[in-house]
Amino acid sequence: MVVDDLFEFNSFRVHHEPHIRVNQDICSGCTHRACTFACPAHCYKWSEERKKIDFAYEPCLECGTCLLICDRGALDWNYPVGGFGVRFRLT
């Protein structure tokens, strides 16, 4: 499967502060959890055990899909600090 390798080919310069913050109180009331499947970098996972969204900002491709599909305003969304984030070589 190409998908298994897809996420391995990008390089990132990760800032210690997340550029997106998730308000878990709002997420807990969400019925569709669209971020968990629509995010092309799979940054959002629903943890059944902890009843919350597990969010990793490090592999974010900075596309904005989560911001657009979240209809509850649970995200404080910014681009990473200048010089940080995903580094596309050719695309």
Partner 1 sequence: MFGGMMPFSPVAEEIIPDFWEKAPWERHVVKRVLHMVAEQSSTAMEFESDSFDSPPYNGYTLFRPIFDRWLSHEAQKAGATLLCSCLVTNLLWKGKKIAGVTVGRKKGNVRAKVVVACDGVLSFLAKEAGLRTDFIPSQMALGVKALFGLQEALINERFNLARTQGATCEFLGCTDGIRGGGFIYTQAETLSVGMVLHLDALKKSGKEPYLLFEEFIGFTPVRRYLKGARLVEYSAHLLPEGGYGMVPKLFTDGMLVAGDAAALCYTNGLNQEGMNLALASGFMAAETVIDAFKRGNFSSKQLSQYEDRLKESFVLKDMKTFKKAVSLMHTERLFSAYPQLINRIMEEIYRSDGKPRRKIGKIGWDAIKGHVSKGDLIADLLKGGRSLIW
Would you count residue 17 as binding partner 1 (CB under 8 A)?
A: no
Would you count residue 80 as binding partner 1 (CB under 8 A)?
A: yes
Please list the residues that pair with 10 across neighbouring strands.
none
Q: Which stretch binds partner 1 (CB under 8 A): 23-31, 46-54, 62-70?
A: 62-70
Q: How far is the CB of 49 from partner 1 (least distance, A)?
A: 21
**39 neighbors 91 (Cβ within 8 angstroms):** no
Burial class from Cβ neighbours inside 10 Å (0-12, 13-18, 19+) for residue 50 reads exposed
The DSSP H or E segment spanning 55 is strand 52-55
Residues near partner 1, by CB under 8 A: 1-3, 5-7, 9-10, 32, 34, 37-38, 40-42, 61, 63-65, 67-69, 78-83, 86, 88-91
